[in-house]
Amino acid sequence: MGLDLRMKGDKIPDQYHITRYCQPKYILDGQIQPGAFKLRAGEESLSVNWLEFLNCSSRESEITEVRKIYSKKLNIGLHAKIAILNVGEVRQKVLTESPDGRNLVVIHDPFIDDPSHSGIYNLKQDDELIAELILETVRESYSART
């Protein structure tokens, strides 16, 4: 797939899906923990990947592509997971259930070596409740390793 930066900075519509790489330290007894959805120091957005942008024919092929992307830039831990989220569900859950009515924005932010890279914006450091709400919207999870 060729690099297409035309969509850089565009909001990802609610009907689409994103993935989040969840480090092994955020997996307990095979289950993803809220910490996987918290900003790390110095981050301005939660790094995710836009599945539909990959233009694959099935979920299985999307996961294969995401694994390839992650393996190029991350040291994939043995128990690491890939969480699948629906953009609209995440936004709606956080908007309606967070005390401050937080309006998250999911923006396409491609890199040269990762054209589907995107970010969830409007998060704050140590946002435990928001992380828990995002976790509640996880639709599926897969091993990050092949």
| Extents of the domains making up the chain | 17-143
Q: What is the pLDDT of residues 56-77, one digit of tens each?
A: 999 999 999 999 999 999 999 9
Q: What is the pLDDT of residues 21-66, one digit of tens each?
A: 999 999 999 999 999 999 988 999 999 999 999 999 999 999 999 9
User: Identity (one letter) of the amino acid at 136?
Assistant: E
User: What's the number of CA atoms in the CB half-sphere (13 Å) around residue 101?
Assistant: 0
User: Is the pLDDT confidence value at 85 over 60?
Assistant: yes
User: Is the pLDDT confidence value at 2 over 60?
Assistant: no
